[in-house]
C-alpha cells in the first residue's frame, strides 16, 4: 500500500475549503489593541504557567458541552498550537504503528508518510496492540463526533493502545459530550487557533495524566517557552467567554446551511454536504464545508471569490 497517495489535495483556495478562525470584528479590534511591553513579557518567568492554569479552567467552562474525566489530566504544558504536541506523541510512540480515521487532519498523514510509512487508516486494518491512535474530537472531517469514536476508544482501552485526543475545535463547538475517562487516552490537546484570529501566534496546551519529563515538560520547568504567545492567549481568555464564538455565530451557520441545503455541524463554521459537494471530500465518507470566511459577513455572496452553487 502506497500511503503517499492517501494525502488529500489542498483545498485552501476553494470558497468552503480549509478551516480557520472566523474574522470576528470584535476579536480583531481587540487584537489591534494588544500592545505589550516586550521586555516585560519576555522577562516574565511565570506567564506560561499562569496561562496554562487559566486556559484549562476556561476551555472546560463551556455551558454548551459536557465533560467527564478531565480531572484525571492533572498536568498541563504549553504547546505551540496543537501540532507541537502531535510531534511529541509521535516521538513517545515511535516504535508503534500510527493510525487515524479517513478524513483526519492531514498533518498526521504527512508526518507519518515521511517517517512512519507503515501507518494505516483505522478503516483499512484491525487494531493491534502495538498501534498508536490520533483522534480529533470534534472530528476534523465533520466537526461532529465520529460515529465509531466510542467503539474505537473501548477497543484501544482493551488493547492498551495510546490515544491522543485532539480537541482543537472545542472552543467553537456545542452539543457534545466529552468523555476523557477512557484509560487509553494519554494526551488531550487544545488551542486558540480556531477560536480567535491568533493562529500564527501558536497558542496551545497539552494535558496528560502523568509527567513523563518529555521536552514539553522540560521547556516549562526551565521557563523556556513561548511567553509572547502565552501573554496573547491570556489577553484573549481574560476578555471573552469560551462560548463567545458559538453564541454569536450559530444562528448564521444554520442560516447558511439552509441556503446551501447542507447539514450544520456541531462545530460552528462547518457543514456537511451530500454528493453534490464531492469536490470538498477529504478522504472520508463525508464532504466538509467551512463557513469561516463568511460568518462575519451578512451573506454568502459577500465573499468576492466564492463560486456558490445555486
Domain CATH for 109? 3.40.640.10
> What is the model's pTM?
0.93
For the stretch 122-180, pLDDT in tens is 999 999 999 999 999 999 999 999 999 999 999 999 999 999 999 999 999 999 999 99
Is residue 89 a part of any domain in this protein?
Answer: yes
Is residue 18 a part of any domain in this protein?
Answer: no
Identify each DSSP E strand in the chain by its residue range.
Answer: 66-68, 75-79, 97-100, 120-121, 131-136, 163-166, 177-179, 185-191, 204-208, 263-264, 270-273, 287-290
Which three cell numbers mark 254? 444554520
Nearest CA-CA partner of 204 in 235, 178, 175, 226: 226
For the stretch 78-109, pLDDT in tens is 999 999 999 999 999 999 999 999 999 999 99
Per-residue confidence (pLDDT) for residue 305, from 0 to 100: 45
Per-residue confidence (pLDDT) for residue 9, from 0 to 100: 62
SS3 196: coil
Positive/negative CA dihedral, 36, 42, 44, 47: positive
Percentage above 70 pLDDT, the chain: 94
Confidence category of residue 8, pLDDT binned at 50, 70, 90: low
Q: Judging by DSSP bridges, how do beta strands 131-136 and 97-100 pair with one another?
A: parallel
Is residue 276 a part of any domain in this protein?
Answer: no
Q: How many domains does the chain have?
A: 1
Per-residue pLDDT, averaged over 186-194, amounts to: 98
Residue 202 host element (H or E): none
Is residue 295 a part of any domain in this protein?
Answer: no
Judge whether residue 309 has pLDDT over 50.
no
Is residue 253 a part of any domain in this protein?
Answer: no
Would you say 90 and 59 are in contact if contact means Cβ atoms under 8 Å apart? no
**Domain assignment of residue 145, given as a range:** 35-237
Judge whether residue 301 has pLDDT over 90.
no
Per the model's pLDDT, the better-predicted residue between 144 and 9 turns out to be: 144
Rounded Cα distance, 148 and 18, in Å: 24
Amino acid at each position: 500500500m502506497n500511503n503517499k497517495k492517501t494525502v488529500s489535495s489542498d483545498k485552501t483556495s476553494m470558497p468552503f475549503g480549509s478551516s480557520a478562525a472566523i474574522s470576528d470584528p470584535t476579536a480583531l479590534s481587540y487584537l489591534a489593541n494588544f500592545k505589550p511591553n516586550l521586555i516585560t513579557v519576555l522577562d516574565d518567568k511565570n506567564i506560561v504557567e499562569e496561562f496554562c492554569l487559566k486556559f484549562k479552567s476556561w476551555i472546560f467552562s463551556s455551558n454548551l458541552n459536557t465533560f467527564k474525566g478531565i480531572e484525571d489530566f492533572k498536568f498541563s504544558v504549553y504547546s505551540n498550537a496543537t501540532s507541537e504536541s502531535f510531534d511529541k506523541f509521535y516521538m513517545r510512540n515511535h516504535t508503534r504503528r500510527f493510525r487515524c480515521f479517513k478524513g483526519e487532519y492531514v498533518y498526521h498523514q504527512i508526518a507519518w508518510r515521511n517517517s512512519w510509512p507503515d501507518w494505516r487508516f483505522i478503516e483499512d486494518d484491525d487494531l493491534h496492540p502495538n498501534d498508536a491512535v490520533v483522534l480529533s474530537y470534534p472530528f476534523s472531517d465533520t466537526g461532529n463526533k465520529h460515529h465509531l469514536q466510542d467503539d474505537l476508544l473501548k477497543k484501544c482501552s482493551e488493547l492498551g493502545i495510546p490515544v491522543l485526543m485532539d480537541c482543537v475545535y472545542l472552543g467553537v463547538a456545542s452539543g457534545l459530550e466529552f468523555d476523557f475517562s477512557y484509560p487509553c487516552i494519554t494526551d488531550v490537546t487544545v488551542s486558540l487557533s480556531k477560536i480567535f484570529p491568533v493562529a500564527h501566534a501558536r497558542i496551545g496546551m497539552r494535558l496528560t495524566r502523568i509527567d513523563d519529563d518529555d521536552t514539553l515538560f522540560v521547556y516549562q520547568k526551565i521557563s523556556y517557552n513561548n511567553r509572547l504567545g502565552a501573554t496573547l492567549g491570556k489577553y484573549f481568555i481574560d476578555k471573552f467567554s469560551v462560548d463567545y464564538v458559538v453564541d454569536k455565530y450559530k444562528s448564521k451557520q444554520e442560516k447558511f446551511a439552509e441556503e446551501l441545503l447542507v447539514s450544520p455541524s456541531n462545530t460552528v463554521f462547518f457543514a456537511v454536504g451530500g454528493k453534490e459537494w464531492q469536490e470538498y471530500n477529504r478522504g472520508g465518507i463525508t464532504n466538509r464545508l467551512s463557513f469561516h470566511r463568511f460568518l462575519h459577513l451578512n451573506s454568502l455572496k459577500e465573499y468576492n471569490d466564492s463560486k456558490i452553487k445555486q
